[in-house]
Chains A and B, each alone.
Chain A
Amino acid sequence: MKRTVVGAHYGMRDWLAQRLTALLMALYSVMLAVILMRGEPITYPVWKDLFAQGWMRVATLLFAVGLVWHAWVGTRDILMDYIKPDGLRLTLQVLALLLLGAYMGWAVQILWR
């Protein structure tokens, strides 16, 4: 395809970000599943200590950033495909951004209480 170079990135950045964040989240998921299923019963002290550790907080923060970014690309794709009226689509996209921003803030608040 012949493309005029005008500085637009033609969605390549989003496409790549969606895939890299997917890999990041997959790794975190496997790690968490392994930690939770080592056989040790998950009591409150175990649970609290896990999320008190610096590396776990940072890993979970990276997961949250990845999730929000990934979810934004996916949500935008779905809205672009199915919601034809421009005003409604823009409204829903803004609402999705607000929701994802709120998730991010909530996650930070939970991790660094």
Chain B
Amino acid sequence: MSSASAKKLRPKYLNLRALLFEIRLPLPGWVSILHRISGALLVFPFAAWLLYMLDRSLASEQGFQAVNSYLDLPLVKAGMLLFIWAYCHHLCAGLRFLLLDLNRGIELPAARRSSVAVLVVSLALTAFFGAKLW
């Protein structure tokens, strides 16, 4: 009886609380869930936001200047930084998934290394393009 109650509850269903506090999601798992989250953010609101800025900036000289000064607002810059991160992470993680599809780097140590690389490279790219934006 005691052995049964001491056993961990199985199956374990994942929810946000479990993900954050109850289990330790391995790094490839983080890359995967962040790929989904960044993808969803890119569809909405970022695609709409960028289309709006492209529209205004191409419409007229005044529109172009307006978008330029709009991009100087701190909140807008923070939003752009999040966009840049989402884009870079989605791109890097996506390339990793393409390689995994081709059976490249599917052993656990290689998969762990590449997931670290995705997180690091996308943050570095964000810093690089963020610096360009400033």
Contact = CB atoms under 8 A, between A and B. Distances in A.
Chain A complexes with chain B: yes
Interface of A: 19, 22-23, 26, 29, 37, 44, 47-48, 51, 67, 71, 74-75, 78, 96, 99-100, 103, 106-107, 109-110, 113
B48 interface: yes
Interface residues of B, number: 24
Given A71-B39, A78-B39, 16 more contacts: A19-B98, A22-B94, A29-B91, A37-B132, A44-B57, A44-B64, A71-B42, A74-B36, A74-B40, A74-B43, A75-B40, A78-B36, A103-B51, A107-B51, A110-B58, A113-B59
A26 B94 CA distance: 10
A113 B101 CA distance: 40
Contact of A99 (B44, B64, B87): B44
Contacts, number: 53
A74 B91 contact: no
Contacts of B95: 26
A100 B43 CA distance: 8
A26 B43 contact: no
B40 A19 contact: no
Contacts of A47: 57-58, 64
Given A26-B95, A99-B44, A106 B61 contact: no
Contacts of A113: 58-59
Nearest to B51: A106
Contact of A51 (B40, B58, B91, B132): B58
B120 to A, nearest CB: 19
Interface in B39-62: 39-40, 42-44, 47-48, 51, 54-55, 57-59, 61
Contacts of B58: 47-48, 51, 110, 113
Can you list the 4 inter-chain pairs with the closest CB atoms, starting with the nearest? A44-B64, A71-B43, A44-B61, A110-B55
Contacts of A29: 87, 91
